[in-house]
Amino acid sequence: MDNFKQKFIKIVKRIWDAFVLFWQRKHLTQILLLGLLVVILGSILWFAFIASQANVQSLKDGLNQATIIYDKDGDVAGSVANNRTNRVSFDQLPDHVSNAVIAIEDERFYEHNGFDIKGIARAFFNNLFAGSITGGGSTLTQQLTKNALLSQEQTYKRKVEELFLAVEIEKAYEKEEILEMYLNQSYFGSGAWGIGNASKKYFNKEIKEVTISEAALLAGLLKAPSSLDPYKNYEKALDRRDIVLSQMKKLGKISAEEYENAIKEEIKLEDGGGSLIDRKYPYYMDAVLDEAINQYGLTQEEILTRGYTIYTQLDQNLQAGLESVYANNQLFPKSTGTQTVQSGAVLLDPKTGGVRALVGGRGEYVFRGFNRATHLKAQPGSTMKPLAVYTPALEEGYKYNSMLKDEKQSFGDYSPENFSKTYQGEVPMYTAIENSINLPAVWLLNEIGLQKGVNAVEDFGISVQEEDKNLALALGGMHKGISPLQLAEAYSTFANDGVRNESHIITKIVGPTGNIIGEYKGKSVRVTSKKVAGEMTSMLLNVVETGTGQATKIADLQIAGKTGSTQLPYKDISGTKDQWFVGYTPNLVGAVWIGYDQTDRNHYLPNSSSRTVVPIFREIMVKASPHIEKVDFPVDSINDRLQDSDTNNLNEVELKEQAEKLEEELKKAADKVEEKLKEEAPKWKEVLEKAKEDSSHLGDKVKDRLEDWLP
């Protein structure tokens, strides 16, 4: 055994010696070091190039501006920003304010050129021991860079970008300008952006009036403005103030006597007003912020403070019209109890998916509060029938006039009912849609197969939860529900020849230095064929012409649409919980929901959707009508098609009668000809006999003449 070990060790040693010799002969150490240096140098050059491309010279102007929102035509629609009118210049800052900030945030501020090697090294080892990026080591210039130009992610890549951009900023601005931008752009908690607003928020003072102790408290908030907010955590804020004062004393920014006086000073809070949000078209602007945050990875802080330019699909004419409808309380059902009847509506371009207008509520508005146009999750009721049942049925070969069962019946444990509690035995498909009859829809979904309905709904852009995969889906039975925006996007498929374009608000976001932060990339899905989409439009035109949506008819505007409502959970109360109408022209789709945020026995809608939500939709389209192109659908309604069919049938009867009359006249004429021929027959016989006799004499003469000629 020992001999085997010794032999094994010798073999391993020989292999190792051979490897070392090979490594030395090939100079692999030098090659690896050279490669590493090349990678490092290349990375440095790359980050330096990226930093040099940033237009940091425009940073100061950008931070002084609000985030501007542009509409679909490139016109300014409004702005989204904090009230930063209380900006302060460096000259307005007392020395003890700037000294407090520098002492606690960047004591070597006037010595470095954008980054501090000592601070970076200290932070690197702290992060190394912590096992993750915990921050630290950033100078004021780097913090300004992070807050104004970069994302908030904690990665080494972002730290390197931050470092190089900080150097560029140091080249472009004086130290005083950098400090001024930093203090005006920073968040100090309680909605206060910028140190000028913070002094008003906490002390009701101008910044030039704050004491050393108050300046130290403000400087201390920069580390964690929310958790150190003195209105919420007074003692923690004071502890942090004391740390700042101690650091100021240590660095010689204040004397021992000033330190003692500041420590003893009682901080008296007095709210002089914070930073309000400047907003126009509030619900639409909220939706812009939501999409920028959720789709493009920005933060609310970045949008409110960096002076972005955001291009949108907004149509200001349609938005103004929609808001005027929602300002008219007489159009909406009277509220009961303490709650207001709420509503949300969306207008969307089916050709692009661009959201042209939206309103997310009635009554008092709350900044980035509940937006019923986009956040709502309510059962869609009968508006689901064309999506889950009739579209896939047409694809399976059913026709608009296919007869569907309308009988009281159960499907396992599920026993749906018609709203009217009456049943006709069977009805054609277009009638079932026009009058929103429940049983034919459920029966048909069962016939074509539940999975086909589920697949169709998902193709229309609406996710179906596992618990929703049952026949109740035909009537809009869903646990979570949908929003007006989702419903409008789904129905845009019918207006766009079977193609669904993803709904979106933002087309492009540009940063304060001109760099493109994000840009919408179009996404479309072929949901159904052009033929099926046309058939659905023909039947949905009937809904408005003679069905449950008649109250939305407008003389010079063709509209197809569908009503929907959901039942109350109380058997002893007649009314509805949610009401919907979704309608469209060839170039505009709209969806409206009304109901209570919290439905109970005292808060519900007593009337049907035809008497409440449908007239609201009509008023929306009346306001929109002057601003959209009025074109007809390329298909006729079922009503028109049936009328044309009756006309064609009538023409066939007339032609048959005329043919029979002509036949009779021809028969009479033929009889007269026959009678005349009989009368003239003897005369014609004499003529024929005479001709026969003459021809005989002529033959004899010809024979005699031939005999004379021939020898």
Q: How far is CA 589 from the centre of its chain?
A: 14
Instruction: Give, in order, the Cα–Cα distances in Å from 316 to each of 74, 284, 571, 627.
Output: 11, 10, 44, 10
Query: Residue 447 CB: number of other CB atoms within 10 A?
Result: 14
Catalytic residue among 98, 105, 199, 483: 105
188 DSSP β-pair partners = none
Please state the φ and ψ torsions of residue 638, each to the nearest 5 degrees: -60, -35
Among residues 192, 220, 207, 180, the alpha carbon closest in space to that of 301 is found at 192
Cα(500)–Cα(445) distance, integer angstroms: 22
User: For the chain, give me the number of helices (H) and strands (E)?
Assistant: 24, 15
In contact, 161 and 174? CB cutoff 8 Å: no
DSSP 234-281: HHHHHHHHHHHHHHHHHTTSS-HHHHHHHHHPPP--------PEE-SS
Catalytic residue among 186, 199, 213, 382: 382
Cα(706)–Cα(18) distance, integer angstroms: 138
Query: Residue 487 CB: number of other CB atoms within 10 A?
Result: 31
Q: Is 382 a catalytic residue?
A: yes
Cα(505)–Cα(289) distance, integer angstroms: 10
Residue 304 carries which side chain, given as an amino acid letter? L
In contact, 540 and 560? CB cutoff 8 Å: yes
- Measured at the CA of 343, the angle between CA 337 and CA 345, to 5 degrees, comes to 175
Cα(328)–Cα(675) distance, integer angstroms: 87
Which two structure tokens, joined as six digits, stand for 418?
Answer: 């018609």
Which two structure tokens, joined as six digits, stand for 221?
Answer: 């908030």
Q: Is 538 a catalytic residue?
A: no
Q: Any residues with CB less than 8 A from the CB of 323 and at least 6 apart, and which?
A: 281, 359
Residue 31 carries which side chain, given as an amino acid letter? I
195-225 CB burial, b ≥16 within 10 A, e <16: bbbbbbbbbeeebeebbbbbbbbbbbbbeeb
579 DSSP β-pair partners = 565, 594
Active site members? 105, 382
